[in-house]
């Protein structure tokens, strides 16, 4: 029997700011290597002999990010479930369990966070296989990680000697994030890190939810019953979903249920919660610096630098976390990188946009970036995926000149269609009804020069849109 | 009698990298406030009752920077003297003295570095007036600064009790940059910082040069005799100039002459030699941070941050110098910022372009900046001053689309001239002979989209150029 991976894309964009933003959260940022952890998670459950098509739970606001990442990873069978608002993990997993059960009453679910790092796919699969028997027998099998250190940022799992199945011990207790002394005691006592991943039958999970959170189950069931469809995804009905109690699956089920087991996983795992934790996992030079991008150091040690675009130089500095993006720079004591949250809270007051959005804007048809912004003009690079199609639209305050620099564009202006190819331009007078489309086999790249007195993103009247944004 | 200010624009771009570059050196960078020190120096000698039109000595490579800065400061009477190569200060000042003397045999020269900070113009003028009498009587009057600290980065001047004129003591000795203990002793003994500025008659300086450096004088005289003209500037003849010994005016004259006096100046002065010295002079917040740009700090103190474009955040860090430009970032222990030189020496090997050039390229007609660079395209913002005129040119490997976003452009393509105004575009096919000109009264801003297989700056055939670059 195949396992249904349930990939949870919750989690904000604050702890790894400025690389992550609320509209471009951690799972989608390439933090370790070229791939995002979301893409790595898809790959981890890519073996279709063991895993079925994944179910992906994400915020409605992130649906284009998810779809884009699935397309890039060539995952065409994923089932996307959109949460109209974040109601924490108990509600989300209950929705996933209900949807999976309707397809297959015996469905087995593997709940996975999209923003964790697990590099050893074989060891991960093996752990799933070890947990399978107990899960089939009705247990909720959590994945416990043998601690690498007395980490104070993770919860701990205490097993007892009872075996639910070979390799799966019954859980005696869950422990919250400890202080340093308690963490050391936990490690000495053989407790495991709670990785937040677990394996179970949908029906046995739902039975626990029915017992412990009947009102939550009722609300989520109603939301699933009345779910709509949005751009090929399941859209949970918002009013019912909002009635579900906001509670984590740990509080709602795992810490209260008698059916919880743990399998001790042997792979490296991290929740990549802070720049500090990313430095720990990254490859380092002889001086202990982890350097991502073009970096030059002079007498600098134990620093983390993430600067994919700008040449960054360090001189006589130690133990810093440095993150340089196209629009913001963070320079932090590496050991205090968990405090980024406070910094972001402050920025949210003064510079909300820099917390919310990356410089590159992601859209269902591709992405765009402002290259230059003057008092009465703006220049953008627009990239449209193969087959991508912008909405039919018009502007009241700006004219645009498009120059295609790669690929081909089908441009519609006031009802007339025209193919524009590399090294050709087209002018869009103020007020014209226009649409841009990539009919080709390679990405379309064009440079848009806007002229006008008002250049905000909100000067756009959408007349028709294939992505249901009208 | 008026004083001829001789503004020396030597000095490289290494100590304040990445804000300065070899092709965009320190005098032209706005380091303290909105103005560059070059512009501030022009302003300091702007009182035409006391000072005549300035003579500006600069490298040939920097002539457009000088001209642009003079135009911006509305200084139309400056006389620009171009050094075909850097031969240190003795040769440069000798050339200035010869040129000044030919215009006025009694000329008084005030030699000033273009990259120093003196904020109190009134006190500066007063010091010049105090020195005037002694200079007229034949002395070389140096400006000594009352030390603010036992600085080890400056040379010191020791005066004796003999007065050459009221307020001007005879110099007993010059002392090189001292170690910390010697510096303290110097300060205790009442020595003055050597600010490198001095006032003298051209003929009395030349008499000393004739006595101490006759070969240098011969070489520079020949170079001045055969000087040419380049774009309105005096261009010293290169072969003769190259024969001049490379020696500072300090070694060649000041330390050997018996005619040297010193006036104790009461104004604040700095050579802005390191980011540390700039931090010392800058305004600071309560925690001792000097923050230029949009900066957010959380528990950070005594830092210097210069980041005019990117939002920069500091968290739990102290005593750093942070400089963020459009293409490079420096993060240094503030107390070690003098070591930037070593860092730059290393970068010169690996990334010569980032040491040589700023992201914005300065040209006689204005400036340009690359906004985007792809495999077969490039986007630039081109700004042409009023009256600016690019060369008549063609390219073998690229076509260009120009969209005017501010001002008006006169565009010539294969002999046909056309006025292109805001929100209009023009296409320049590969191989066409073209020219761009700003005939208007406001700066012209245009966006250039280049398409082609090779996009290097060297694919340009100049057919005609008003700035003599053909």
Weakest-pLDDT range from A381-385, B313-317, B363-367: B363-367
Q: Is residue A426 less than 8 Å (CB to CB) from chain B? A: no
Nearest CB neighbour to B405, from listed A336, A342, A374: A374
Task: Give per-residue pLDDT as tens, B184-195.
Answer: 999 999 999 999
Give me the residues paired with residue B83 across strands.
Answer: B59
Say yes or no for a CB contact (<8 Å) between A312 and B328.
yes
**A17 pLDDT more than 80:** yes
The rounded mean pLDDT for chain A is: 95
Say yes or no for a CB contact (<8 Å) between A329 and B350.
no
Q: What pLDDT does B32 receive?
A: 85
Q: What pLDDT does A362 receive?
A: 85
The DSSP secondary-structure symbol of B180 reads: H
Say yes or no for a CB contact (<8 Å) between B320 and A317.
yes
Say yes or no for a CB contact (<8 Å) between B315 and A336.
yes
Say yes or no for a CB contact (<8 Å) between B329 and A311.
yes
Residue pair A87/A81 in contact (Cβ under 8 Å)? The answer is no
Task: Give per-residue pLDDT as tens, B10-45.
Answer: 877 789 999 999 999 999 999 888 899 999 999 999
Q: Model ipTM?
A: 0.91
Q: Identify which of B440, B67, B126 has the alpha carbon closest to the alpha carbon of residue B263.
A: B126
What is the rounded average pLDDT of the residues B353-378? Answer: 93
Sorting pLDDT into bands at 50, 70 and 90, what band is B466? Answer: confident
* Percent of chain B scoring above 90 in pLDDT: 90
* Percent of chain A scoring above 70 in pLDDT: 99
Q: What pLDDT does A462 receive?
A: 92
Tokens of B107: 């000329």
What is the rounded average pLDDT of the residues A384-409? Answer: 95
Secondary element (H or E) of residue A229: strand A228-230
Say yes or no for a CB contact (<8 Å) between B296 and A347.
yes
Tokens of B258: 């018996």
Contacts of B28 (CB under 8 A, 6+ apart): B36, B38, B62, B65, B69
Give the SS3 label for residue B241. helix
Residue pair B194/B174 in contact (Cβ under 8 Å)? The answer is yes
All structural domains of chain A, each given as residue ranges with its CATH number in brackets, are 3-265 (3.90.550.10), 275-355 (no CATH), 360-464 (2.60.120.10)
Task: Give per-residue pLDDT as tens, A21-48.
Answer: 999 999 999 988 889 999 999 999 999 9
Q: How far apart are CA B171 and CA B315, in angstroms?
A: 50
Distance from CA of A81 to the nearest CA of B (A): 36
**A53 pLDDT more than 70:** yes
Residue of chain A whose alpha carbon sits nearest to that of B298: A343
Say yes or no for a CB contact (<8 Å) between B445 and A298.
no
Q: Is residue B328 less than 8 Å (CB to CB) from chain A? A: yes
What is the rounded average pLDDT of the residues A152-179? Answer: 95
Q: What pLDDT does B470 receive?
A: 63
Give the distance from CA A402 to its chain's centroid: 33
Q: What pLDDT does A470 receive?
A: 63
Task: Give per-residue pLDDT as tens, A317-337.
Answer: 999 999 999 999 999 999 999
**A469 pLDDT more than 80:** no
> Hey, of A275, A297, A316, which one would you mutate to test binding to chain B, going by the most B CBs within 10 A of its CB?
A316
Residue pair B445/B405 in contact (Cβ under 8 Å)? The answer is yes
Q: What pLDDT does B68 receive?
A: 87
Measure the N-to-C terminal CA separation of chain B; round to a whole number of Å: 42
* Percent of chain A scoring above 90 in pLDDT: 90
Task: Give per-residue pLDDT as tens, A243-278.
Answer: 999 999 999 999 999 999 999 998 999 999 999 999
What is the rounded average pLDDT of the residues A109-138? Answer: 96
Residue pair B315/A334 in contact (Cβ under 8 Å)? The answer is no
Which chain A residues are closer than 8 Å to B324 by Cβ?
A: 310, 324, 329
Residue of chain A whose alpha carbon sits nearest to that of B372: A371
Which chain B residues are closer than 8 Å to A347 by Cβ?
A: 296, 313
Q: What pLDDT does B399 receive?
A: 96
Distance from CA of A423 to the nearest CA of B (A): 6
Q: Pick the more confident residue, B361 or B432.
A: B432
Distance from CA of B455 to the nearest CA of A (A): 13
Q: How far apart are CA A282 and CA A223, in angstroms?
A: 42
What is the rounded average pLDDT of the residues A65-77? Answer: 91
Say yes or no for a CB contact (<8 Å) between B311 and A327.
yes
Q: How far apart are CA B284 and CA B282, in angstroms?
A: 6
Tokens of A186: 């936990």
Q: Identify which of B105, B108, B157, B160 has the alpha carbon closest to the alpha carbon of residue B134.
A: B108
Secondary element (H or E) of residue A306: strand A304-315
Q: Is residue A339 less than 8 Å (CB to CB) from chain B? A: yes
Tokens of B135: 């200079």
Q: pTM, whole model, 2 decimals?
A: 0.91
């Amino acid at each position: 029997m195949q396992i249904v991976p349930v990939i949870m894309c919750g989690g904000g964009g604050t702890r790894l700011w400025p690389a992550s933003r609320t509209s471009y959260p951690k799972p989608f940022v390439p933090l370790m290597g070229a791939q995002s952890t979301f893409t790595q998670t898809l790959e981890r459950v890519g073996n279709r002999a063991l895993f079925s098509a994944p179910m992906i739970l994400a915020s409605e606001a992130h649906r284009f990010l998810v779809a884009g990442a699935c397309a890039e990873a060539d995952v065409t069978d994923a089932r996307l479930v959109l949460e109209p608002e974040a109601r924490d993990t108990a509600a989300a997993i209950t929705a996933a369990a209900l949807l999976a059960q309707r397809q297959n009453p015996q469905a087995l679910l593997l709940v996975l966070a999209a923003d964790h790092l697990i590099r050893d796919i074989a060891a991960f699969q093996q752990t799933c296989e070890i947990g399978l028997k107990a899960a089939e027998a009705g247990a909720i099998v959590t994945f416990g990680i043998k601690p690498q250190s007395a980490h104070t940022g993770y919860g701990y799992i205490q097993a007892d000697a009872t075996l639910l199945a070979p390799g799966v011990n019954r859980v005696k207790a869950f422990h919250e994030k400890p202080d340093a002394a308690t963490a050391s005691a936990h490690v000495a006592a053989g407790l495991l890190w709670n990785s937040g991943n677990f394996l179970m039958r949908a029906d046995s999970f739902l039975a626990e939810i029915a017992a412990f959170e009947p009102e939550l189950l009722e609300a989520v069931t109603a939301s699933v019953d009345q779910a709509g469809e949005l751009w090929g995804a399941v859209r949970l009905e918002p009013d019912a979903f909002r009635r579900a109690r906001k509670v984590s699956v740990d509080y709602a089920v795992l810490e209260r249920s008698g059916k919880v087991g743990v399998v001790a996983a042997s792979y490296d795992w991290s929740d990549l919660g802070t720049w500090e934790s990313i430095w720990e996992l990254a490859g380092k030079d002889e001086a202990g610096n982890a350097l991502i991008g073009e970096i030059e150091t002079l007498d600098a040690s134990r620093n983390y630098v993430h600067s994919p675009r700008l040449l960054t130089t360090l001189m006589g500095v130690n133990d810093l976390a440095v993150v340089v993006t196209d629009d913001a720079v963070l320079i932090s004591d590496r050991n205090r990188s968990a405090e980024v949250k406070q910094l972001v809270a402050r920025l949210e007051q003064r510079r909300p946009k820099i917390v919310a959005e990356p410089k590159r804007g992601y859209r269902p048809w591709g992405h765009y970036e402002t290259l230059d912004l003057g008092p009465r003009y703006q220049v953008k690079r627009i990239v449209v995926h193969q087959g991508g199609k912008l909405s039919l639209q018009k502007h009241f305050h700006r004219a645009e000149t498009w120059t295609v620099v790669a690929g081909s564009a089908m441009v519609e202006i006031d009802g007339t269609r025209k193919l524009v190819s590399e090294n050709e331009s087209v002018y869009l007078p103020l007020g014209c009804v226009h649409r841009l489309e990539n009919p080709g086999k390679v990405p379309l790249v064009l440079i848009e020069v806007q002229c006008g007195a008002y250049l905000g993103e909100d000067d756009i009247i959408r007349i028709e849109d294939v992505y249901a944004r009208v």
